[in-house]
Amino acid sequence: MHGRPPPPDLVIRPETENDDDAVEAIYRVAFGPGRYSRTAYRLREGIAHDPRVSFVADRSGLVIGAIRQTAVMVGGRPAYLLGPLAVAETAAKQGIGRTLLTRSIEAAAATMADALVLVGDPAFYAPSGFEQVWDEIVMPGPVERHRLMQRPMRGRVHGRLLADPWPEVAPEPLAPREAPAAT
């Protein structure tokens, strides 16, 4: 992990439905009403974020930060659109955002995602393995190209980003058990 260690009383846990109002309040303050016109927000409309890779920062039962990831396809390959990531103003600059990001990346590594894609601040995301991609990924709307980044997980993705959730790979079927020998 890069930067400041998180506060010792911080708990990073999976986001639940009960956290939705608190998370939306943090996003409302952090990104304002104009967030809904941004391409990344528009892509997420109608697609639920993946709870396996979406987390909240909890301090004494109070949600003070959140990160979400939404399954998308990039050039026909499974990826996550990472974000939004936000921390309450009263908890800023304490390493909480970086801790949420690290936990979300770790969780994504256990999925079939080839890469994580985001539109964000290169100075914040580059230390966590994100690289600017400029024109390698085509978003279906306006985006500040220098803020378009990806973190390869299984390989780099390129091509058109589509708001199409991807199916998980079905687990291998169990081998049939042998019947016990008759006695």
Contact (CB, 8 A) for 113 and 153: yes
| Confidence band, pLDDT 50/70/90 cuts, at residue 33 | low
Q: Mind listing the pLDDT tens digit for each residue in 7-30?
A: 788 999 999 999 989 988 888 887
pLDDT of residue 7: 76
DSSP type of residue 36: G
Contact (CB, 8 A) for 119 and 83: yes
DSSP type of residue 60: T
| Confidence band, pLDDT 50/70/90 cuts, at residue 89 | confident
**CA 74/CA 76 separation, integer angstroms:** 5
DSSP β-ladder status, 62-74 and 10-14: unpaired
The reply to whether omega before 84 is within 30° of 0 (cis) is yes
Chain centroid, CA 119 distance in Å: 11
For the chain, which domains are there?
A: 10-162 (3.40.630.30)
Contact (CB, 8 A) for 84 and 36: no
| Confidence band, pLDDT 50/70/90 cuts, at residue 92 | confident
Q: Mind listing the pLDDT tens digit for each residue in 118-129?
A: 999 999 999 999
Contact (CB, 8 A) for 114 and 166: no
pLDDT over threshold 50, residue 176: no
**CA 149/CA 101 separation, integer angstroms:** 14
User: H or E segment at 123?
Assistant: helix 122-125
pLDDT of residue 168: 63
Q: Identify the CA nearest to 163 among candidates 72, 82, 69.
A: 72
Joined tokens for residue 52:
């396996």
The one-letter amino acid at 69: Q
Counted residue by residue, the chain has a size of 183
**CA 122/CA 129 separation, integer angstroms:** 10
Contact (CB, 8 A) for 83 and 53: no
